[in-house]
Amino acid sequence: MNEPTFATLVSRWYEQNARDLPWRAPDVGAWAILVSEVMLQQTPVVRVLPAWHAWLRRWPTPAALAADTPAEAIRMWGRLGYPRRAVRLRDCAVAIVQRHGGEVPEKLEQLLALPGIGTYTARAVAAFAYGQRHPVVDTNVRRVVSRAVAGEPDAGPATRPSDLVACEELLPVEPAAAALASAAFMELGAIVCTARSPRCTACPVESICAWRASGQAAPAGPTRRPQRYAGTDRQVRGLLLGVLRDATGPVPHQRLDQVWPDDVQRSRALAGLVKDGLVEPIGEDSFRLVGDGPTVHPVA
C-alpha cells in the first residue's frame, strides 16, 4: 500500500482541526471570499471577523459596493489598517460590475486583471471559491513548505516564483483535493508550524519533515524587523484619516492641524493621503474623504 502523500496527511489533519471561520462555510460565495482575503492581508483574524460581517451586511454583492462612494468604503473599513485596501476593493467591485456583470470571475487571468488583486488573492479566490488547482502561497504556506520539504527553518521575507513551483508540486492532481490542500497548508502554518513556537508534536507531517529531521532550531529573531508605529507617518495618517472619517463634510485645514504638533510631518502625512487617493482637497483650505458627496461647506 502506498504511503499517504504530504498533501493527504495535511488535508486529513485540516478536516479535523481547521478553525471554524465564516468565509469557509460551504454556502459562502466568491464575493464574500474575495472580501475576506483582502481584509486578512497583514491583519489578524480576530480583527477581520467583525469587519467582514459588517461589510457584507452593507454590501452583500459587488454591485452594492460599486454603487456606493469610495468615502463610504473608507469609513466602513474603520481602523482595520491599510485603508487603501478599502478603495481598491471598491475599485475591484466596480470592475466586476463593468466587466463581468456583477459576478466574481472564475478564470485566474480575469481575477489577476481586477484592480488591487494580486498573485496571492487571485489564486486564493480561484481555489477557495471555485475549487480550482492553483498554488496559494502566503507567508504561512512558504514556511510550511520550506521546513517540511526543503529543511530550512525560514523561507525568507518575500515570495519568489520558486515558492509557487514548490507548492504546486505538492498539490494533488484533482482540483477539489488541491483546493482543500491549499487551505490545509495555510492553516497548518497559521496554528501549528508557526514562526517562533512551532508545535511539532501536533504536526501531521512531523515524521517526514526535513527540518525536524535536521535538528535545526527556529531562527532566534524575526525574518522581518517589526515595524514601529508610534510617532511614524503611519500614526499621523491614521489620526488625520480618523478626523475625516468621522466628519460629515469637508474639514478645514486648521482642524486637521490639531491632530499632530509637528507641522512638517503632518503636512507630509496629509500629502500622502491625497497621493494615495484616500483624501481630496476641497477649495483652498479644506479636505474630505475621496468622493465624499457634493457639499463644499467646511465642517466647523
- Tell me the chain's radius of gyration from C-alpha atoms: 22
State the residue for C-alpha cell 494580486: 118
Terminal CA-to-CA distance of the chain, rounded, Å?
77
Burial of 17 (0-12, 13-18, 19+ CB in 10 A): middle
Quick count: other Cβ atoms within 10 Å of Cβ 5?
A: 14
Question: CA-CA-CA-CA torsion for 283, 288, 289, 293, nearest 10 degrees?
Answer: -70
Give the angle subtended at the CA of 229 by the CAs of 223 and 231, to the nearest 5°: 140
Strand partners, 252: 286
> Which residue among the candidates 37, 72, 187, 280 is catalytic per the annotation?
37
Residue labelled with grid coordinates 487617493: 277
| 37 carries an active-site annotation | yes
- Selection from 101, 104, 82, 98 nearest residue 38 by Cα: 82
Q: Hey, which residues are catalytic here?
A: 37
